[in-house]
Amino acid sequence: MAIHFVYNGLENFLNVLRDQKLCAEQAGFDLLVFSKVEHDFLRRHEVMIEREKIRIFEYAPDKQQLILKMPIRALFVAQGLIFKYLTQQMTKVGMKDDDWMLLNGGDFKLENGCTVEPDLALYSMAGEKRTPLFPHIVFEIGISQSVEDLRRRGDDYIRYSKGKINAVICLHAPQNQSHISWVVYKAFRRPNQDQAFESVIWGRGLITFDKDDHSGQHGLPANITTTGPMTIPIGKGPPGTPDEVELIEESLVKITENFILRRWQG
């Protein structure tokens, strides 16, 4: 669920933000939407945004709309689990600490003008002289958003980075419902269309559970399907540098199971 406000100056904006931080988790929403936000809001208030640790979900200048992500415990649980898994995968393929950078909420600007801040973004630094313009793998965790919202966002990431974002992994955990699903979107380029990228579903799974007994005895997920090998390109580096990382279905299942257990155990 998202709560909507009209932007009415910086002081009012900060007052609304601080008030809503206190009640977001209890009230069951994770997004704040401000309309009529000036086009140069982010540039003019960089210091304030950093000081307030504001999580930008999306800023669309053409709509003058700013969407903020609120600090929900369930999101941090999922981020921690995914961060740990990716760190293990990087080590497994022999990458060193300075070969990659995993940012919790790092922001970047897509070619459609939107500034976005995904929940996690993995940048491959192998062979790069500076931070790449776009991350190679992006994670989005949705509670108030619909599956369609996450699908659109995954496609935007791939389409408006022209495939530089190789994969988008979405974890959908709707409030007060007894299922969590994950979907992996992969960059796809049609023949004879060098610059035209779109997303395709690479793998997906669903776990249902009984939230009343909190036991976590939900068994294996249903309807897992894949459309190709679950490996993600992570950029070209010097000779001997791995250029892909495995994304194993069982690991995503484990992440989702742990997310369920920790979420309902508080």
Read off the pLDDT of residues 115-148 as tens digits, 9 standing for 90 and up: 888 888 888 776 666 778 888 888 888 877 888 8
Q: Given this model, what pLDDT does residue 65 score? A: 92
244 against 60, higher pLDDT: 60
As a dihedral over the C-alpha atoms of residue 51, residue 53, residue 54, residue 55, rounded to 10 degrees, the angle is: 150
C-alpha span between 145 and 213 (Å, rounded): 26
What the chain holds in terms of domains, given with CATH numbers, is 2-69 (3.30.1370), 73-264 (no CATH)
Counting Cα atoms < 13 Å in the Cβ hemisphere of 76 gives 7
Q: Residue 65 pairs with which residues in a beta bridge?
A: 35, 60
**Which whole number is the average pLDDT over 225-244?**
54
**pTM metric for this prediction:** 0.77
- Per the structure block, which two tokens stand in for 191? 């023949």
C-alpha span between 118 and 110 (Å, rounded): 12
Q: Given this model, what pLDDT does residue 223 score? A: 46
Q: Given this model, what pLDDT does residue 83 score? A: 77
- Per the structure block, which two tokens stand in for 73? 């415990």
Nearest to 60 by CA among 44, 29, 30, 38: 38
Residue 174's Cβ-count burial label (10 Å; 0-12, 13-18, 19+) is middle
SS3 63: coil
SS3 97: helix
Q: Given this model, what pLDDT does residue 246 score? A: 64
Q: What does the mean pLDDT of the chain come to?
A: 76
